[in-house]
Structure 1
Amino acid sequence: MLPRTEPADDPTDDRPTPDGREADGRAADGPTGERPVPARAASREDEPDDERPAAPPVEHDSTWFTAVVRAHQRDLHRYLVRRAPGEADDLTADVLTIAWRRRDDVPDGAELPWLYRTAGFVLANHRRKGRPIPVERVPEEIDDDDPALRAVHDERVREALGALSPRDRQIVLLNAWEGLTGQALAEVLGIGRGGADAALSRARARLAAAWGESA
Structure 2
Amino acid sequence: MSTHTQTAGEDAQEPTIVPLRPRLDDAWFTELFEKYSSHIYKFVFRRTSAEDVEDLTAETFAIAWRRRADIPEGYVLQWLYRTAGFVVANHNRRQRPVLLNEFPEIARDTDPAFTVIEDAEIREAFYSLSERDRRILLLAAWEGQSSEQIAEVLEVSENAAAVALSRARARFSQALV
Category of TM-score, reference length = shorter chain: 0.5 to 0.7
Relative to structure 1, the CA distance from residue 187 to residue 126 in structure 2 (aligned partners, 3 Å threshold; closer, same or farther) is farther
1:11-30 deviations in whole A, cap 9, x for unaligned? xxxxxxxxxxxxxxxxxxxx
Indicate the residue corresponding to 2:109 in structure 1.
none
Work out whether 1:120 is the aligned partner of 2:85: yes
In structure 2, distance between residues paired with 1:211 and 1:85? 30
TM-score by length of 1: 0.52
User: Are the equivalent residues in 2 in contact too, given 1:110–1:184 (CA < 8 A)?
Assistant: no
Work out whether 1:209 is the aligned partner of 2:156: no
In structure 2, distance between residues paired with 1:68 and 1:169? 28
Gaps of 5+ in 2: 1-13, 98-112
1:20-49 deviations in whole A, cap 9, x for unaligned? xxxxxxxxxxxxxxxxxxxxxxxxxxxxxx
Whose relative contact order is higher, 1 or 2, with alpha carbons under 8 Å and at least 6 apart? 2
Find the residue that maps to 1:179 and give its secondary structure: coil
Gaps of 5+ in 1: 1-49, 134-148
Report the alpha carbon displacement of residue 173 of structure 1 after superposing the two structures with TM: 0.6
User: Are the equivalent residues in 2 in contact too, given 1:95–1:115 (CA < 8 A)?
Assistant: yes
Relative to structure 1, the CA distance from residue 126 to residue 171 in structure 2 (aligned partners, 3 Å threshold; closer, same or farther) is farther
User: Are the equivalent residues in 2 in contact too, given 1:80–1:92 (CA < 8 A)?
Assistant: yes
In structure 2, distance between residues paired with 1:200 and 1:114? 21
Report the alpha carbon displacement of residue 174 of structure 1 after superposing the two structures with TM: 0.7
Q: Percent identity?
A: 43
More helix per residue: 2
- CA RMSD in angstroms comes to 3.4
Between structure 1 and structure 2, the one with the greater Rg is: 1
TM-score by length of 2: 0.61
**Count, aligned residues:** 145
Indicate the residue corresponding to 2:71 in structure 1.
106
Which of the numbers 121, 143, 146 marks the counterpart of 1:178? Answer: 143
Find the residue that maps to 2:133 and give its secondary structure: helix
Q: Match of 1:167, as an amino acid?
A: R
Indicate the residue corresponding to 2:95 in structure 1.
131
